[in-house]
């Protein structure tokens, strides 16, 4: 069986942006113009195809990334619409890991917003080529120039405008294509007909200026074009596109388009750009993986003839078919009914069905090829980040690393029946969402669920009630504090017990040292001359890890510590793994207590947009929350405040900012880093924990 669409005509793209930049509205237009849907679903009416969850339709935001397939000019485009809200950052991260290209959408009034920067950095991390679309140019206060300038200043100097709007706000008539130097008008039902005309007189001078800037930038990426440009020769549209595509694939240039998705202007230019400028699976570097047995590096190319390998990037619970496992095929092909190896667990899985997804609808396939994105049902032991591959040539592809949760709430089922349902339901949700965690508080016996923010936990509580029919009481949000040390210290512990017959003996000497924020934990074995036998080193590390989980100040997990095991002793008969584990744990506690331990708290990056009248109140309110103002700027008659505020001080901020500004201000926040808690607050945290 051969594939319908050759590899070079395949595009795997994602739409990424700050919350409310219009991603879903934009996606709905793409589906309409490519004939996937016959009417446009509007977000404000709760009818968007890509926002299929009840919670998404009610709130008008995207919560999970939805996948769909569409066709444009003989190309197959697999599209993933990702959430903009930072609480659902895992959705963006896992989507970017498996995509070959991205369309970044910006609000034409606000330009680059904080979460636009976050998704941009995530795309940089996975080296995803991208194109930009400045949306909402029909809104009051929209400005293409300002938005374009904010991309240059805040994100990349490599942005190049390839279209500009003819008019803004209610006068937005169409866009000028700077490559063809033609005016494009979008007429007919929902702007479906693209009418190409000469550029009107009033826009000619501006078009020439933007065209010259574009040619300079594009020509700078190619010697032959530079020569032509300097000699003043005519450069054709084809030449511009060829060099632009090459530059996009090498992350050298990022083309910027413009329009208004809601008013159906400029959207088809993005479909053309996806086909002409973004990479096919053949244009991206081959996937590097490791051999599960030897650890040797293995390369997998996008080809149907190579051994099969695929990365699982998402697990979703579907009310009709059960657990859906989404995967991206990197090499080879997969047939229905075949067996594959999960290289991470070593277990075999049977692929009973292969599905191509369209939001929450499904199309059955018999076979799926390299470069495609698909889903399967009923896998037993496969979770996000696992590699599925051919049994005869196993490989583990690079995993996806997710951020740690920063906020938790207590959850208490109302009845015995709810208790059982809760455990099952939470297990399903943790499989789906790697940034959602559950743990038992051993001292109080309470169940604590943690996530990326108040909205994240709010949605989870809502899903538990509606989807899984679990009735429960929820506590107040709690901050996920951490502990660390501030200096170097040594710890020594001898664990010796005699209980008739064989005793227990373990003797450990270690050093603890602080590491920089976010560097994690490192265990170094510097035992020389066999003072501790090899088989007891691992148990010492286990003991240290267990002690770090419990912390030494207020019972919070310790982070960013380097532990060096440098000496100790053992007994020929009495030494055991258990004894060294206990000795390691006790030696670490002793050293950590001597190393001036401190409590760390999550700090959030916050942006508040407020009318000028309330500017003073907003600033003083942020300061009263231990916030630091980073900078203030202006945006269309509004003041923008960028600040850093501890998470513990932001609970209920939505309500207080509303009452402070008569409901006219808006804010967004995202996790920034862990910082040391001031000593007076640390004492309150310790006392609160003891209660």
The proportion of the chain whose per-residue pLDDT surpasses 90, expressed as a percent, equals 19
Helix (H) or strand (E) holding 14: strand 10-17
Confidence of residue 510 (pLDDT cuts 50, 70, 90): very high
Confidence of residue 261 (pLDDT cuts 50, 70, 90): confident
pLDDT value of residue 457: 82
> Tens digit of pLDDT for each residue in 306-324?
899 998 887 776 666 677 8
The CA–CA distances, whole Å, from 52 to 395, 425, 451 equal 35, 20, 22
pLDDT value of residue 444: 64
Residue 280 has pLDDT above 80, yes or no: yes
pLDDT value of residue 378: 81
pLDDT value of residue 60: 46
Burial degree of 168 (CB within 10 A; 0-12, 13-18, 19+): buried
Check: CB of residue 53 under 8 Å from CB of residue 63.
yes
Confidence of residue 582 (pLDDT cuts 50, 70, 90): very high
Degrees to nearest 5, angle at CA 321 with 315 and 327: 35
Residue 165 has pLDDT above 80, yes or no: yes
pLDDT value of residue 566: 92
Helix (H) or strand (E) holding 239: helix 237-249
The CA–CA distances, whole Å, from 51 to 89, 356, 502 equal 17, 17, 65
The CA–CA distances, whole Å, from 363 to 69, 353, 376 equal 10, 10, 11
Check: CB of residue 277 under 8 Å from CB of residue 288.
no
Confidence of residue 591 (pLDDT cuts 50, 70, 90): very high
- Lowest mean pLDDT: which of 11-25, 38-52, 130-144, 444-458? 38-52
Residue 97 has pLDDT above 70, yes or no: yes
Give the count of alpha carbons within 13 A of 376, CB side only: 30
pLDDT value of residue 593: 93
As a whole number of angstroms, the distance between CA 183 and CA 163 comes to 10
Residue 18 has pLDDT above 70, yes or no: yes
Higher confidence at residue 329 or residue 313?
329
Check: CB of residue 203 under 8 Å from CB of residue 176.
yes
Higher confidence at residue 360 or residue 444?
444
pLDDT value of residue 560: 92
What residues contact residue 219 under an 8 Å CB cut-off, 6+ apart?
A: 225, 226, 228, 229, 235, 243
Degrees to nearest 5, angle at CA 248 with 243 and 249: 100
Q: Is residue 375 helix, strand or coil?
A: strand
Residue 51 has pLDDT above 50, yes or no: no
How large is the greatest C-alpha to C-alpha distance in the chain, in angstroms? Answer: 102
pLDDT value of residue 49: 43
Q: Is residue 391 helix, strand or coil?
A: coil
Give φ, ψ of 534 to 5 degrees.
-50, -40
Higher confidence at residue 46 or residue 566?
566
pLDDT value of residue 397: 85
The proportion of the chain whose per-residue pLDDT surpasses 70, expressed as a percent, equals 89
pLDDT value of residue 40: 44
Residue 557 has pLDDT above 80, yes or no: yes
Give the count of alpha carbons within 13 A of 127, CB side only: 9
Task: Tell me what the pLDDT averaged over the chain comes to.
Answer: 83
pLDDT value of residue 90: 59
Higher confidence at residue 225 or residue 442?
225
- Lowest mean pLDDT: which of 57-66, 388-397, 404-413, 583-592? 57-66
Residue 490 has pLDDT above 90, yes or no: yes
Strand order in the sheet with 522-525: 489-497, 504-514, 561-569, 522-525
pTM: 0.70
Q: Is residue 89 helix, strand or coil?
A: helix
As a whole number of angstroms, the distance between CA 301 and CA 5 comes to 18
Residue 200 has pLDDT above 60, yes or no: yes
pLDDT value of residue 59: 45
pLDDT value of residue 63: 41
Question: Mapped to the 3 state alphabet, what secondary structure does 519-543 carry?
Answer: CCCEEEECCCCCCCCHHHHHHHHHH
Confidence of residue 627 (pLDDT cuts 50, 70, 90): very high
Report which DSSP code applies to 47.
-
Q: What is the residue-wise DSSP string for 278-326? A: SPPTTTSPPEEEE-TTT--EEEE-S-TTSPPEEEEEEEEEETTTEEEEE
Check: CB of residue 262 under 8 Å from CB of residue 138.
yes
pLDDT (mean) for 199-213: 90
As a whole number of angstroms, the distance between CA 542 and CA 580 comes to 9
pLDDT value of residue 386: 87
pLDDT value of residue 43: 43
As a whole number of angstroms, the distance between CA 134 and CA 129 comes to 17
Residue 114 has pLDDT above 80, yes or no: no
Residue 422 has pLDDT above 70, yes or no: yes
pLDDT (mean) for 173-190: 87
Confidence of residue 361 (pLDDT cuts 50, 70, 90): low
Q: Is residue 662 helix, strand or coil?
A: coil
pLDDT value of residue 507: 92
Residue 512 has pLDDT above 80, yes or no: yes
The CA–CA distances, whole Å, from 360 to 53, 355, 363, 396 equal 9, 11, 10, 29
Residue 38 has pLDDT above 70, yes or no: no
pLDDT value of residue 47: 42
């Amino acid at each position: 069986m051969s594939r319908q669409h050759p590899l070079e005509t395949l595009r795997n793209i994602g739409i990424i942006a700050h919350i409310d930049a219009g991603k879903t509205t934009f996606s709905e237009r793409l589906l309409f113009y490519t004939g996937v849907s016959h009417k446009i679903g509007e977000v404000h009416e709760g009818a968007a195809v890509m926002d299929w969850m009840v919670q998404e339709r009610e709130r008008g935001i995207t919560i999970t990334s939805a996948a769909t397939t569409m066709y444009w000019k003989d190309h197959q485009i697999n599209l993933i619409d990702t959430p903009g809200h930072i609480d659902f950052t895992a959705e963006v991260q896992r989507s970017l890991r498996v995509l070959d290209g991205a369309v970044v959408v910006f609000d034409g009034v606000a330009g680059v917003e904080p979460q636009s920067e976050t998704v941009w950095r995530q795309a940089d991390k996975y080296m995803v080529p991208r194109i930009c679309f400045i949306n909402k140019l029909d809104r009051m206060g929209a400005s293409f120039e300002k938005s374009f300038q904010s991309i240059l200043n805040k994100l990349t100097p490599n942005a190049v405008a390839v279209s500009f709007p003819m008019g803004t706000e209610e006068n937005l008539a169409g866009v000028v294509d700077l490559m063809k130097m033609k005016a494009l008008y979008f007429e007919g039902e929902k702007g479906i007909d693209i009418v190409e005309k000469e550029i009107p007189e009033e826009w000619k001078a501006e078009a020439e200026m933007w065209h010259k800037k574009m040619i300079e930038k594009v020509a700078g990426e190619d010697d032959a074009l530079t020569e032509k440009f300097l000699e003043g020769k005519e450069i054709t549209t084809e030449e511009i596109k060829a060099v632009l595509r090459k530059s996009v694939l090498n992350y050298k240039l990022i083309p910027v388009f413009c329009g208004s998705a809601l008013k159906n202007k400029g959207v088809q230019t993005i479909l053309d750009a996806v086909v002409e400028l973004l990479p096919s699976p053949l244009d991206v570097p081959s996937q590097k993986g490791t051999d599960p047995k030897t650890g040797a590096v293995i390369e997998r190319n996008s080809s149907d003839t190579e051994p099969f390998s695929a990365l699982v990037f998402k697990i979703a619970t579907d009310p009709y078919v059960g657990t859906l496992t989404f995967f991206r095929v990197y090499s080879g092909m997969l047939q229905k009914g075949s067996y594959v190896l999960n290289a991470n667990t070593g277990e075999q899985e049977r692929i009973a069905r292969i599905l191509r997804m369209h939001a929450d609808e499904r199309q059955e396939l018999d076979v799926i090829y390299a470069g495609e994105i698909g889903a399967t049902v009923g896998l037993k032991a496969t979770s996000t980040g696992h590699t599925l591959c051919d049994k005869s040539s196993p490989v583990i592809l690079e995993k996806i690393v997710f951020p740690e949760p920063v906020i938790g709430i207590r959850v208490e089922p109302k009845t015995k029946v709810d208790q059982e349902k809760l455990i099952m339901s939470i297990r399903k949700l943790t499989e789906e969402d790697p940034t959602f965690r559950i743990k038992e508080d051993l001292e109080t016996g309470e169940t604590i669920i943690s996530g990326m923010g108040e909205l994240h936990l709010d949605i989870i509580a809502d899903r538990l009630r509606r989807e899984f029919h679990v009735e429960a009481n929820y506590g107040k949000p709690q901050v996920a504090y951490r502990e660390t040390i501030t200096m170097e210290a040594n710890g020594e512990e001898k664990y010796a017990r005699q209980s008739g017959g064989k005793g227990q003996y373990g003797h450990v000497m270690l050093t603890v040292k602080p590491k920089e924020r976010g560097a994690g934990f490192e265990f170094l074995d510097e035992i020389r001359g066999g003072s501790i036998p090899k088989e007891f080193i691992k148990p010492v590390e286990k003991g240290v890890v267990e002690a770090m989980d419990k912390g030494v100040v207020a019972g919070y997990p310790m982070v960013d510590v380097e532990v060096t095991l440098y000496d100790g002793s053992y007994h020929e008969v009495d030494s055991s793994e258990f004894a060294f584990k206990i000795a390691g744990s006790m030696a670490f506690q002793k050293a950590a207590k001597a190393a001036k331990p401190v409590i760390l708290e999550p700090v959030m990056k916050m942006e508040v947009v407020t009318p000028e009248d309330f500017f003073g109140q907003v600033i003083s309110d942020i300061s009263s929350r231990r916030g630091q103002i980073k900078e203030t700027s202006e945006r269309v008659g509004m003041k923008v405040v960028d600040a850093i505020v501890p998470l513990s001080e932001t609970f209920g901020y939505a309500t207080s900012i509303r009452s402070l500004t008569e409901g006219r201000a808006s804010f967004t926040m995202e996790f920034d880093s862990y910082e040391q808690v001031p000593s007076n607050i640390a004492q309150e945290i310790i006392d609160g924990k003891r209660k």
